[in-house]
Structure 1
C-alpha cells in the first residue's frame, strides 16, 4: 500500500473527529478491525470487530464538546501514526495529547492503538 493512500485514509479518519461527523468513518474500517483505547487505566479497553470499533470512534467523533487537532500524521506503507491533541474545555488542563498507531490492509483500518500522555 502506498504512503499516499494510507495518508488519505488517515486524513479522512481525522476529519470525522474534526468535523464531528461519524459518517466519515464509513468505508474506512475493516470487518476485523481492532482498537485499543488508553482508558481505563492501567491497560485500557479493547474493541474487536467493525461494529464495536465504529461505535467507539463514532461516540468520540460526535461529541461537539471535543476539539480534535491532529498535530502530525505520518505514513509508511500500511502503517501510520497520528499525533494529536484533544481539548474538551476552556481551562489550561482541559486537554490531553496522544498518539494513535494505525495499521491498514487493502485501504481499510484493521488496527488502531491509542495512547495518551499521563
Structure 2
C-alpha cells in the first residue's frame, strides 16, 4: 500500500478531533513522534514516543465537551500548518485560537508543535 500524502494524514488527523473519533488516529503516528502541547505555559508539555502522543491525542479527540474547528490548513511537502479554534464552553469567550506545526514522514506524524493565543499579560 502506498504511503499517505501529507495532506491525507492532516485531513485524517483533523477529522479525528472534529468528529470526536479517536480511532481515526490509529496508524497515523510514528513510533518516534514528538509533540509539544500548548499548555502549560511557557513551553507546553513535551510528549515523546508514538504511544504517548497517540494516548494524548486520543483523550483530546474523545472529549465531547469541547469542539475543535480547523480554520486553515496549509501543506508544503512533508510539513503542514493547521490554524484552529478550540471551544471549551458555550460562551463567546470560551475558546482559544492556535496553530499546530506538523511534520510527516512516510505517511506518519513525526512532529507536532502546538501554539495558542492567550489572554496573559506581559510584564
TM-score w.r.t. the length of structure 1 is 0.95
Q: Give per-residue Cα distances to partners, 1:28-80, cap 9 Å, x unaligned.
A: 10000000011111111100001110011111100001111000011011000
Residue 10 of structure 1 deviates from its aligned partner by 0.2
Task: Please list, as runs of the form range in 1=range in 2, the aligned pairs for 1:1-118 lying within 5 A after superposition.
Answer: 5-118=5-118
Rounded Cα–Cα distance in structure 1 between residues aligned with 2:57 and 2:94: 20
Q: Which 4+ residue blocks in structure 1 deviate beyond 2 angstroms? A: none
Residue deviations 1:10-38 (CA, integer Å, cap 9, x gap): 01000000110110001110000000011
Structure 1 distance, partners of 2:62, 2:12, is 15
SS in 2 for 1:81: strand
Secondary structure at the aligned position of 2:14 is classed as: helix
Q: What RMSD over aligned residues (CA atoms) do the two structures have, in Å?
A: 1.0
Q: TM (normalized to structure 2)? A: 0.91
Q: 5+ unaligned residues in a row in structure 1: which ranges?
A: none
Q: Tell me, in whole angstroms, the C-alpha distance in 2 between the residues paired with 1:35 and 1:90.
A: 28
